[in-house]
Structure 1
Amino acid sequence: MRKSSRSRTLAAMPLSPLIRFGTSTWAYEGWQGLVYKRPYPKSRFASECLGEYCQYQYQGEPLFRTVGNDSTFYRPPTANQLRRYLHQIFDEFDMCCKVWEEITIPQYAKQPRYGAKAGQPNPRFLDPAVFNDLVLAPYREARFEPHTGPFIFEFQRHGLSVEEFCSRLDAFFRQVPKDFRYAVEVRNAGLLGPEYRQVLERHGVAHVYNHWSYMPPLAEQHRRLGRFTAPFTVLRLLTPLKMSYEQAKKRAEPYTKIIEELPEMRRDTVDLIRQAVREERQAYVLVNNRAEGNAPLTIQALVDRLRSGA
């Protein structure tokens, strides 16, 4: 089948090397036939498919130049895990890992997985020594630094005031190593303002523009901040706005196709990417299946839009 002239034109317009697209994580069996063509034993699919993910091409170019690692929110990776990733990824590829929740939750939720700690204050919240010794250490041991994208600090909704949160954040980033990049994702919309922006700017930390259930649209987040806060930026397209995680998950499974396009999300994402590139900032864009139903297809649509100039 011959490609249309439009397809040939789009394929001939390479994206800026400053742009890195990836998915929130990579091991989805619903992507078999799209991203994954090789047969995998079910028991080894998650551990072996990253290499094929990195090689996946769209219109003659690798589509994914980064990937999120959500599992590191629940426990830091071991050096051996990171070494296994190194055997599968290529030179110009970064992994954006979430920071262990022991660093980012001020109080343990009343959930069974926390056991006796449920409902209690977290003494490790924003502890720079714990972060350095337990989170960063495996990356150094595995020599993973060249492939480490921005670490993502996901702060779920909490009851801290703007002043207390920003003060704790400022103290933390004053004490952590400067040879890694950091990005902060907040789920309290009230934090978006001058005090939060000034803390991030002071330490060269990026705000994560997160398209998530109860946050403002991406463009509104940028309006409230006024400008980017670091030499790079991070966008995470997670769920439709005003829709819970559980609803989004149920709507999107089994992640084999686009369920519903989100035009405002796509437009705001492309606008922020273009602004970042104009300012010579690197843009990391991580897409979750629960946004539109199939993250690789959402990324393809964003690439087409960027190439078309629309």
Structure 2
Amino acid sequence: MHPFPQKAHNTLSELQADGLYLGTSSWKYPGWLGQLYDEQRYLTRRKFSNARFERECLAEYAETFSSVCVDASYYRFPDPRFLASIHEQVPEDFRFSHKVTDTITTRHFPNLPRHGAHSGKRNPVFLDSAIFLNSFLEPLRPYQDQTGLLILEFTRFRKGDFERGRDFLEMLDRFLAPLPTREWDFAIELRNPSLLRPEYFDLLNRHHVGHVYNHWHRMPPSGEQIDLCPPDQLEAACGMRLLLKPGRAYKEAVESFQPYERIQEERPEARQAALRFLRTSGKKPLKRKAYVYVNNRLEGNSLQTIAALLSQIGKA
């Protein structure tokens, strides 16, 4: 059964009209066939073609949603050909949010093959504004009107990365200073609870940058982050990413929930936090955007999670 009847489509459109974007983390999930995607659209010689599905399904995604979070940009700097290919599939009012490439946001490169000779070493270009502007932002410039939130997701800092939390904030301050933060929507996502302090939120306001309230396994639940600083106390666009149940590792969630065909475990506290975020962000006269992205690894199927949120908003 399709989780998005006409009333749900109407609710998504009403939210978008208020500058509130609700979407998913990425979009290429065969587990959504029969829910969001029509398998018949991706047949080649009467057989389902996964290659065709991955290449073309964004257009069908955009028939329901007006925004998506592009996780691919976290792993490599934006490629002009890739950007052209995704933008040509969506209408002009669609918004792509991007996770900033980890070359900018990782203090120490993890021991992964994709980092090559840099694996396990300190990142020499961590928070390098010039590289960010040239290698990340410049390729996006032709698509500025269709760009949503630019998310600086910092990997969890470990012992020895910084002597004190304020050392990180000083580096972040210097990084943000030359960025065009009033021309684009920027937001910070942290993975160290100890950094969620008044001086951090004050820094965001000084630079007109938002916060990403994240539901992640080693962070306080997103509702508790709202308690620390509600979105209406921040001056810039903000985001929320519902990723994982606190305490549940990513690998465990993948193994438990694939192929993401249905909800397997409801997280009511995450849903309530998302509703609170939308209601707070939608207060008049804020006049700024807010973005909520739901991951399959939260409950098992982000489409059905979003459908449940829409029904609770009271408009669907």
Q: Structure 1 residue runs of 4+, over 3 Å off?
A: 7-16
Give the distance between the partners of 1:53 and 1:226, measured in 2 at CA. Answer: 31
Give the distance between the partners of 1:203 and 1:286, measured in 2 at CA. Answer: 24
1:55 aligns to what SS in structure 2?
coil
Per-residue deviation at 1:11?
7.6
Partner of 2:31: 30
Partner of 2:263: 258
Aligned positions of 1:42-53 closer than 5 A: 42-53=50-61
Return 239-248 or 216-225, whichever deviates more: 216-225
Partner of 2:46: none
Alignment of 1:206 onto 2:214 = no
Partner of 1:234: 239
1:184 aligns to what SS in structure 2?
strand
Deviations 1:32-66 (A, max 9, x none): 1111104322222222111010003xxxxxxx111
Match among 285, 293, 301 for residue 300 of structure 2: 293
2:132 aligns to what SS in structure 1?
helix
Partner of 1:75: 76
Partner of 1:218: 222
Distance change >3 Å, CA 174–CA 12, structure 1 → 2 = closer
1:54 partner amino acid = A
Deviations 1:239-273 (A, max 9, x none): 11111111111111110001111111111110111
1:150 partner amino acid = L
Alignment of 1:196 onto 2:200 = yes
| TM-score with structure 2 setting the length | 0.88
CA contact (8 A) 1:10 1:307 kept: no
Distance change >3 Å, CA 91–CA 8, structure 1 → 2 = closer
Partner of 1:54: 62
1:127 partner amino acid = D
Match among 171, 174, 184 for residue 171 of structure 1: 174
CA contact (8 A) 1:193 1:225 kept: no
Alpha-carbon RMSD: 1.9
CA contact (8 A) 2:187 2:237 kept: no
Partner of 1:3: none
Alignment of 1:39 onto 2:41 = yes
1:49 partner amino acid = C
Give the distance between the partners of 1:9 and 1:82, measured in 2 at CA. Answer: 32
Distance change >3 Å, CA 127–CA 12, structure 1 → 2 = closer
Matched pairs, number: 294
Give the distance between the partners of 1:132 and 1:274, measured in 2 at CA. Answer: 33
CA contact (8 A) 1:258 1:294 kept: yes
Per-residue deviation at 1:30?
0.6
Per-residue deviation at 1:15?
3.3
Give the distance between the partners of 2:10 and 2:215, measured in 1 at CA. Answer: 30
CA contact (8 A) 2:223 2:269 kept: no
Return 38-47 or 208-217, whichever deviates more: 38-47
Match among 178, 182, 185 for residue 186 of structure 2: 182
Partner of 2:45: none
2:314 aligns to what SS in structure 1?
helix
Partner of 2:157: 158
Which consecutive unaligned segments of at least 5 residues does structure 1 have? 1-6, 57-63
Partner of 2:123: 122
| TM-score with structure 1 setting the length | 0.89
Partner of 1:146: 145
1:39 partner amino acid = R
Distance change >3 Å, CA 8–CA 115, structure 1 → 2 = closer
